[in-house]
Chain A
Amino acid sequence: MRNLLQNFVLHIEAGYDRPFGPAWNPLRQLGTLTFFLYWVVAGTGIYLYIFFDTTVAGVYQSIDSITFEQWWAGGIIRSLHRYASDAMVVMALLHLSREFIFDRYRDVRWFTWFTGVPILWFLMFCGISGYWLVWDVVAQYIAIDSMEWLDWLGIFGEPLANNFLAPGSLTDRFFTLLIFMHIFAPLILLIIMWFHVIRVSRPKINPPKGLAVGILVMLTILSLLYPAVSQPPANLNLAVSQVNLDWFYMLFYPVFDTIGASAMWGASIGISTLLLAMPWLPPMKKPSPAFVLLKDCNGCGRCYEDCPFGAVTMGTRTDGLHFEREAIVDPDLCTACGICVGACPVSTPFRHTDNLTTGIDLPDLSLDLLRENTYSAAKRTTVSGSTNTMAPRILIFGCDHGADVRLVEGPGVAGISLPCIGMLPPSFIDFAISRLDIDGVLLTGCRECDCYNRLGNTWMDERIAGDRDPYLRTRVPRHRLRVCWAGRTDMQHLNDELEHFKTSLTSENEPT
């Protein structure tokens, strides 16, 4: 089921990749866009607060004045405030769904998921309390329903809904309290959002500038063409008959009207508990974490620099060797992606040793085993090869989360899959070409800007370009290396790239 969903999302994302490009694809920037929209809502909210009147008699009028008497500023800002909050809900929910679909919420990612759930609660509270402040018929409807929902708990003494019994029941103090809550809740929301990313190494909280501008322009145009306005003023003498609800925030109210307070409480608590518990629900996957071999670790800190989950720290040397520091792995934070292995300068297959060790390694796929796999894959390129001696021998290094490299194996082509392409030390490319007589190396992995392990393909691009240690040596002829970032559903793209690569290598091999 999850695979089907993943394929569905990957196809949609591929559709967005074409016009937006991988870096600007909004579906891969859902978290950063949520942050960005928060700032838009906060900024516009500060402006609106300046003109807001907190008296029962003046509240509706003050919002109307902001909307119509200064439509060129307050009117647009009010609309931006509303539409950005709506967009924020969409982004947050899509972000949550995407992380669930791609199974990025278990194991070391539990904290990010767990802190994401209260973000949704506070986001809802912020939006709903904001709608109350307008004090129109929508506010009247949701205020009474909300109070009745809370009253079911029976902990407030006087029923809270009595505040909305008749016109005289509501006092000015109510709106003072409400504006205080509407300002205070977003501040708590921001703190939780900060906690949400605190354990992420190099958290990305800002979207690409172009995408941010695009969203802002879109919201501004929407505000100009379809400005947000109040509905008729609240009147507690009259029952609310028909309202235009904001379904992003008020979907629960018709449900509440249908199922009642007790069932609504049951559903709210049940869904929240389920969401909070999801990282620990079966099937659990816990790969064996990376480990440090002090005899091979020189404390250079590259694994520490490259780890996308902050699982590696540098500590004082404990083995008496003359290096100052040593790498330390926190098993609770390690996803066993192997990026640290690819970053270690000792991870080179050229060393003449039967048991190839390195400074930091994976128990399930050691560097030694990776070299063995490379040897056997190189052998497969000959064994499975056709009689055509001119056919190039190609080795494909891929990742377990991207296009399946085993599916493109064929005459002269063999593939090796790693937990992440970032695990591959660049020296293996050199090794395959210079020692194993491989004609070409094709690197593949998750789509650009969509690495399952966050930074694997970014680091690999930088290592090849010579921008990041360990570099791919300049002696490696670049025309014998090809990079093709391809997701699970991009097999055709990988096949096409492989065919182009074969053609280019064949023309190189042909005698002139």
Chain B
Amino acid sequence: MTFKTSPFKWMIQALAYLAFAAGIAYFSSSQKYDVLSSDQTIIKLSFTHPGQRKEECRRRTAQELAKLPANMRAPKLCARERWPVLVVLELDGKTFLSESRKPRGLSNDGPSSIYRRFPVLAGRHRLVVRIKDRKQSDDFNYTLDRVVDLQPLKVTVIGFDNAKKRIFIKQ
């Protein structure tokens, strides 16, 4: 069967191409998507911090050291497992996040990491961050309580400085 073409058919073909091109253009970049409203802002909580060891290190006795090969006579014996790190974030008195992060590694001996992103309304807020890296029955050992002025769409990062052992807010 031979297909016969004509100027009219060429015109319809052109229209079909045009419709396809319009569809591509429209869905490729013409459609806006609102990720965040302009009165909101983002708080990012992110840090990596090792929990304390579950058991304190102790000095090996002379007898224990004597039993070990000469190249393995480390004076201290430390259990590897660490406590999970508990993070609590409060905004204007309301708990926003309460999450316990397990230590990394098969033996639970690595640091704990957390990354969370929250959209919140911009403005003045009282921000309280508590971190506990030890036995769960103990109190939080790091706390930051601050009134912050969150600018619209400005990212606020909450982190933990392992060198200075303190929680910080970076705006």
Taking Cβ atoms with an 8 Å cutoff, the residues of A that contact B are 16, 18-23, 26, 82-83, 86-87, 90, 141, 144, 148, 151, 157-159, 161-162, 165-166, 214-215, 217-219, 221-222, 226, 228, 236-248, 254, 257, 448, 483, 485
Residues of A within 8 A of B35 (CB): 141, 239-243, 257
Question: Are B157 and A165 neighbours in the complex by a CB distance under 8 Å?
Answer: yes
Give 10 A-B pairs besides A241-B36, A242-B33 with Cβ atoms closer than 8 angstroms.
Answer: A22-B1, A83-B21, A87-B24, A161-B46, A165-B44, A215-B17, A217-B17, A245-B31, A246-B27, A448-B1
With beta carbons under 8 angstroms apart, the residue of B25, B28, B32, B115 that contacts A242 is B32
Q: Top 10 A-B pairs ranked by shortest CB distance?
A: A21-B3, A19-B12, A159-B115, A239-B42, A218-B17, A247-B27, A19-B9, A222-B21, A244-B29, A239-B153
- Assess A483 versus B9: contact at CB under 8 Å? Given A165-B46, A221-B21, A240-B35: no
Residues of A within 8 A of B31 (CB): 244-245, 247
- Quick check: is B100 within 8 A (CB to CB) of the other chain? no
* Closest chain B residue, CB of each to CB of A236: B155
- By CB atoms of chain B within 10 A, which of A16, A19, A243, A483 has the most? A19
| Complex CA distance for A23 and B110, rounded to whole angstroms | 63
Question: Are B1 and A483 neighbours in the complex by a CB distance under 8 Å?
Answer: yes
Question: Are B115 and A238 neighbours in the complex by a CB distance under 8 Å?
Answer: no
Taking Cβ atoms with an 8 Å cutoff, the residues of B that contact A are 1, 3, 5, 9-10, 12-13, 16-18, 20-21, 23-25, 27-38, 40-42, 44, 46, 48, 104, 110, 113-115, 117, 119, 153-155, 157, 170
With beta carbons under 8 angstroms apart, the residue of A22, A161, A215, A222 that contacts B3 is A22
Question: Are B24 and A244 neighbours in the complex by a CB distance under 8 Å?
Answer: no
| Complex CA distance for A241 and B42, rounded to whole angstroms | 10
**7 A-B contacts (beta carbon < 8 Å):** A19-B12, A141-B35, A157-B113, A228-B29, A242-B35, A244-B30, A247-B28
Question: Are A18 and B17 neighbours in the complex by a CB distance under 8 Å?
Answer: no
| Complex CA distance for A30 and B33, rounded to whole angstroms | 30
Question: Are A238 and B155 neighbours in the complex by a CB distance under 8 Å?
Answer: yes
Question: Are B38 and A241 neighbours in the complex by a CB distance under 8 Å?
Answer: yes
Question: Are B117 and A254 neighbours in the complex by a CB distance under 8 Å?
Answer: no
Residues of A within 8 A of B29 (CB): 228, 244-246
Q: State how many angstroms separate the Cβ of B170 from the closest Cβ of chain A.
A: 7
SS class of chain A's interface: helix, strand, loop or mixed? helix
Residues of A within 8 A of B113 (CB): 157-159
| Complex CA distance for A244 and B42, rounded to whole angstroms | 20
| Complex CA distance for A238 and B155, rounded to whole angstroms | 5
| Complex CA distance for A238 and B154, rounded to whole angstroms | 5
Residues of B within 8 A of A245 (CB): 29, 31, 33
* Closest chain A residue, CB of each to CB of B30: A244
| Complex CA distance for A441 and B147, rounded to whole angstroms | 91
Question: Are B3 and A151 neighbours in the complex by a CB distance under 8 Å?
Answer: no
Residues of B within 8 A of A241 (CB): 34-38, 153
- Assess A158 versus B28: contact at CB under 8 Å? Given A241-B35, A242-B33: no
| Complex CA distance for A90 and B26, rounded to whole angstroms | 13
| Complex CA distance for A2 and B40, rounded to whole angstroms | 47
Residues of B within 8 A of A159 (CB): 46, 113-115
| Complex CA distance for A218 and B13, rounded to whole angstroms | 11
Residues of A within 8 A of B27 (CB): 86, 246-248
Residues of A within 8 A of B37 (CB): 241
- By CB atoms of chain A within 10 A, which of B29, B48, B104, B170 has the most? B29
Q: State how many angstroms separate the Cβ of A291 from the closest Cβ of chain B.
A: 34
- Assess A254 versus B28: contact at CB under 8 Å? Given A21-B5, A161-B115: no
Question: Are B32 and A166 neighbours in the complex by a CB distance under 8 Å?
Answer: no
| Complex CA distance for A448 and B117, rounded to whole angstroms | 56
| Complex CA distance for A148 and B157, rounded to whole angstroms | 16
| Complex CA distance for A237 and B37, rounded to whole angstroms | 16
| Complex CA distance for A345 and B23, rounded to whole angstroms | 51
With beta carbons under 8 angstroms apart, the residue of B21, B117, B153, B155 that contacts A218 is B21
| Complex CA distance for A492 and B24, rounded to whole angstroms | 35
Q: State how many angstroms separate the Cβ of A148 from the closest Cβ of chain B.
A: 7
| Complex CA distance for A344 and B31, rounded to whole angstroms | 58
* Closest chain A residue, CB of each to CB of B8: A19
Q: State how many angstroms separate the Cβ of A464 from the closest Cβ of chain B.
A: 12
Residues of A within 8 A of B114 (CB): 159
* Closest chain A residue, CB of each to CB of B22: A222
- Assess A240 versus B36: contact at CB under 8 Å? Given A158-B48, A158-B113: yes
- Assess A157 versus B104: contact at CB under 8 Å? Given A19-B12, A238-B155, A241-B153: yes
Residues of B within 8 A of A144 (CB): 117
Residues of B within 8 A of A166 (CB): 155, 157, 170
| Complex CA distance for A165 and B119, rounded to whole angstroms | 14
With beta carbons under 8 angstroms apart, the residue of A26, A254, A485 that contacts B33 is A254
| Complex CA distance for A242 and B44, rounded to whole angstroms | 19
Residues of A within 8 A of B34 (CB): 241-242
Residues of A within 8 A of B36 (CB): 239-241
- Assess A243 versus B17: contact at CB under 8 Å? Given A161-B115, A226-B25: no
Question: Are A86 and B33 neighbours in the complex by a CB distance under 8 Å?
Answer: no
| Complex CA distance for A240 and B80, rounded to whole angstroms | 42
- Assess A16 versus B104: contact at CB under 8 Å? Given A222-B24, A239-B36: no
Residues of B within 8 A of A240 (CB): 35-36
Residues of A within 8 A of B153 (CB): 238-239, 241
Residues of A within 8 A of B104 (CB): 157
Question: Are A214 and B33 neighbours in the complex by a CB distance under 8 Å?
Answer: no
- Assess A86 versus B46: contact at CB under 8 Å? Given A221-B21, A245-B33: no
| Complex CA distance for A148 and B25, rounded to whole angstroms | 29
Question: Are B13 and A20 neighbours in the complex by a CB distance under 8 Å?
Answer: yes
Residues of A within 8 A of B30 (CB): 244
